[in-house]
Structure 1
Amino acid sequence: MHENTHEAAQVSGMACLTRVRVQALGLLVNIGINPDEIGRHQPLVISVEIVLRPAMIEYIADTVDYRRIVKAAEVLATTHVPLIECFAQRLAQQCLFWPGADQVTVTADKPFALPRGQACTELTTCGAAIAAGSGPSSSRLNTPSRAGNLTKFQS
């Protein structure tokens, strides 16, 4: 984790750490490696959290616009992506290059990948890793509850 995420900054005498989130965004994505998945759009539910470098935020230009996150995910959804891990990595890398972004976490849930349960991935990466060309980038499988997300897919 980048050192700025461990300590809150002093902005106008107030300690602050800003996290911008888009949660439970339903998308239809051309995703998969199995023959029956290729060329077929499948539901994917993503959440993105961007930790901003410490700064005073007064205007939209001082932060990351939620709509920009949604647009980046929607554009990525139009191309074939083999794995949910790839989707999370590509989206996180794009977000991390935006001004002010210090750390990005992307979760991607593929609700119908398993007969029982749900396939999920979570990836966290930080600006220091990108700047150095390597570093603490992680992806781990988890099984968070996403009740109610199946009805939120983009049409």
Structure 2
Amino acid sequence: MTNPIAERIANHYSELTEGNRRLADYLLVNPDKILMLSTNEIAEACAVSKASVSRFIRKLGYQDHGALRSELLDERDKGTPMALSNEAIGDFSSEIRALEALLENLNESDVESITGAIAGSKGVKIIGYRNSYPVAMHFRQQLIQARPSRSSTSTGSNHRRGSGVHF
């Protein structure tokens, strides 16, 4: 799998300084960090200055960190696969284990109690941010079908920032 920054780094790698190579190596191994960390946090992780990170990003052809993030977000929104870091793979494994543990410990009476509380409530607030936004919207649709007498109000729709829905 590839991403736009990996291609740009590959094109410039031979001419990078030692500090820029640390940045390049870090971002190649952790491409998801570009979306999550600030310029200052990336600088700290690579033991370089914030100005070095900014210059490195400009050297790759981006106006600034925001422009780089925007391109990567656009690629993600298109469904373009990005390389996963070992940390992300470990996170996925951890999430799978947590879901398996939930399934093992969840009993029918708990499910009935939860669904009864939702069905009998005056309102349900659902909040989804970033990657959990589509899951929240799916749950919203399920509640609309299960609770037809209820109306829904969305308090936002930007999937990058998040949304709250009240029933």
TM range (shorter): under 0.3
By percentage of residues, which structure has more helix?
Answer: 2
Larger relative contact order (CA 8 Å, sep ≥ 6): 1
Q: Which has the larger radius of gyration?
A: 2
